[in-house]
Structure 1
Amino acid sequence: MRDSRLGTPHTIELPSGRVHYHERGQGPPIVFVHGYLVNANIWRKAAPLLSDRFRCIMPDWPLGSHLTPVNRDADLSPPGIARMIADFIEALELRDVVLFGNDSGGAYSQLAAAAHPERIRRLVLASCETPDCTWPPAPGGFPLLKRTAAHPLTYRTLYQVLRAPTAWRWRNTYGWLAKYPIDDLTMRSYVDPVLRSAAIRHDGRKAIGSVDEQFTRSAATILATTFGKPIELIWASADRVFPLASARRYADRLGVSVRTVANSYTYLTEDQPELTAALLAEAVNR
């Protein structure tokens, strides 16, 4: 259930457990960080557009749509996921990494860059949490995801609606994240793990149940004051979950500009892969 355009599949053992990832291309490394309830398939359109110049490394992070549960006692709080990103980069012996995060993957990327900057050369954030945002973000009703994670039964019950493809376009599922419908095979790779596996639900519930804007706001302070490395912002101009105005305020605080992508919602590589890949390549090469 992973698209062949992602390249070669691999697994790696980290202190927190086994992580599956795909790799395609040669050149400066880009490590991709997706958000909650998606997986590496979200990069399937962009990877072929970048792999002629860059080494694209695309893990499945344990955020509810992954294949193999991590260790039962793994720390899946935001700092724990940030540590996992750093452990992954270290395990692959990567240096001068470009860290690219989208949706809540951008929040985790901010934490990773702030707390573990040693091997990171550049941070690229694409339509994600800013210091203005709550986590989960308020638009679309996404705070319900955290509230229902308080108990395994309420968490499991919430996701049963995803058995029906008509629910995939609701604003509080994927409808405000992708402007255009995502193909059924990709969507099944996103929703089936959380529907079918209690162990995957355990991971997803731990992850979404522990998010909070205090983490991103603390990371933003570090990034704005002591990070000292380039940061790029790429944003959907029509984003309904992470407003462009918030991105511009964050960019002012960071002393950078915002590159916008028209005709897209949050999932930039889904709605506008060509333009997003071009902007990412430009950011990497600056």
Structure 2
Amino acid sequence: MATVDTPFGQVNYRVAGPQDSAAPPVVFVHGLLVNHELWTGVADRLAAEGIRSYAPDLPLGSHPIALSADADLSPRDIARLITDFMAALDLTDVTLVGNDTGGALCQFLVDTDHARIGRLVLTNCDAFDKFPPAPFGLIVKTGRSPMRLRAMMATMRPRMLRHSMLGFGGLVAKPLDPALTRRWITPSLSDAEVRRDTAKFLRKVKPAELLDVSTRLGAFGKPVRLVWGTADRFFKLADGQRLRQAFGDNAELVEVDDGRTFLPLDEPERVADEIRALSYSRG
């Protein structure tokens, strides 16, 4: 693992793939209460094909390093943090890839400053006013208080509850690794400053703001690929279809049969294939 300094504070990230890759770099954006490990299987498959990728740990509850105490962490601020991360590593012509809450952050990013972005890949994710989808609004409301966030995360200590349909279990089609999900909940359990960061973000989550962003997605004007699991209980195929229309003629929708929210975990090879295909297609 590596770290890089940004105006928001230090960011931890995983890098994979050859340093001298001729392919555009890939930057992964994860969602709430998970970390860079959501993307490890995808990143390793891309690395085997000679594509270098970067997976930062964002301040969404599973990050190992808290940001500066005075950092603003609205969704648009975190979009700026991702841009600052890319600038610190001098990444350009980036293939930006988002999942779940991370997909919403990608939409805020391209609405704010997409100069470093060459193309966009979104798997099942928040869109329009589904930020978050039911029933996860309760998690957002609870997590706005650091004290209540810790209490909520404590209920996920038992593997049975962590992997239940009310935990991470409803987001996958395949069995979860208990050690992985334990690592996801540990920072919010053990670090008050991580809880502070996460609560800051959750207090600024407003569905109306993402809905407003959706009205300008067509201005992005660069290649977009939506890789959408068709069996997702929370982000339906209709959401992906509507998002494709919002991005306009440069977007295409790829359906993944039986895929659910955490498509990068369930179908890393398929997701990697779609990223690779778009990365080598210069639009």
TM-score, normalised to structure 2, is: 0.93
Structure 2 counterpart SS, 1:171: coil
* Structure-2 separation of matches of 1:119 and 1:85: 11
Alignment of 1:30-49 (within 5 A): 30-49=26-45
1:227 aligns with 2:223: no
Aligned residues of 2:146 and 2:192 also touching (Cα < 8 A): no
- For residues 71 and 239 of structure 1, the distance between their equivalents in structure 2, rounded to whole angstroms, comes to 36
In 2, Cα distance between equivalents of 1:116 and 1:253 = 18
Question: Residue 261 of structure 1 is aligned with which of 256, 259, 278?
Answer: 256
Could you say which residue in structure 1 is the equivalent of 2:230?
A: 237
2:277 alignment counterpart:
282
Superimposed CA distance per residue, residues 136-160 of structure 1 (whole angstroms, 9 cap, x where no aligned partner): 211xx20011211343322221121
Name the residue aligned to 2:64.
67
Q: Which residue of 1 aligns with 2:131?
A: 135
Residues 172/209 of structure 1: CA separation in 2 closer, same or farther (3 Å cut): farther
Letter in 2 for 1:246: D
**1:5 matched to which residue of 2?**
none
Residue of structure 1 in register with 2:103 after alignment:
106
Q: Which residue of 2 is the match for residue 18 of structure 1? A: 10
Alpha-carbon distance between aligned partners in 2 of 1:241 and 1:280, rounded to the nearest angstrom: 23
1:84 to 68, 81, 86: 81
Which is further off, 173-182 or 84-93? 173-182
2:267 is aligned to 272
Structure 2: unaligned runs, 5 residues or longer: none
Measured against aligned partners, the alpha-carbon deviations of 1:18-69 in whole angstroms (never above 9, x if no partner) come to 0011111133100000001000111111111101231111111111001110
Contact 2:59 2:197 in 1 (8 A): yes
CA distance in 1, matches of 2:196, 2:16: 30
- Structure 2 counterpart of 1:6: none
User: 276-285 or 90-99, which moves further after superposition?
Assistant: 276-285
SS in structure 2 of the partner of residue 172 of structure 1: coil
Matched, 1:212 2:209: no
User: Shift in Å at residue 165 of structure 1?
Assistant: 0.5
Q: Quote how far apart the aligned CAs of 1:186 are.
A: 1.1
Secondary structure of the residue that 2:221 maps to in structure 1?
coil
Matched, 1:162 2:156: yes
Q: 1:213 and 1:232 mapped to 2: Cα distance?
A: 23
The equivalent of 1:192 in structure 2 is: 186
Q: Is the 2:220–2:247 contact (alpha carbons within 8 Å) kept by the matching residues of 1?
A: no
Q: Tell me the secondary structure at the aligned position of residue 98 of structure 1.
A: strand
Q: Which moved more, 1:239-248 or 1:173-182?
A: 173-182
Question: Matches of residues 108-123 of structure 1 in structure 2 within 5 Å?
Answer: 108-123=105-120
- The answer to whether the 8 A contact 1:24-1:55 is kept is yes
In the alignment, residue 153 of structure 1 is paired with which amino acid?
M
Q: Could you tell me how far apart the structure 2 residues matched to 1:189 and 1:245 are?
A: 33
1:206-225: per-residue Cα shift (whole Å, max 9, x none)?
Answer: 1222212223222222221x
CA–CA distance in structure 1, aligned partners of residues 98 and 215 of structure 2: 18
SS in 1 for 2:149: helix
Report the 3-state secondary structure (helix = DSSP H, G, I; strand = E; otherwise coil) of the residue aligned with 2:150: helix
* Greater Cα shift, 155-164 or 210-219: 210-219
Q: In structure 1, how many angstroms separate the alpha carbons of the residues matched to 2:105 and 2:12?
A: 18
Report the secondary structure of 1:278's partner residue. Answer: helix
Tell me the secondary structure at the aligned position of residue 193 of structure 1: helix
Which of 166-175 and 189-198 deviates more?
Answer: 166-175
Shift of 1:261: 1.5
- Taking the aligned partners of 1:54 and 1:218, their CA distance within structure 2 comes to 34
**RMSD, matched Cα:** 1.3
Count of residues paired in the alignment: 274
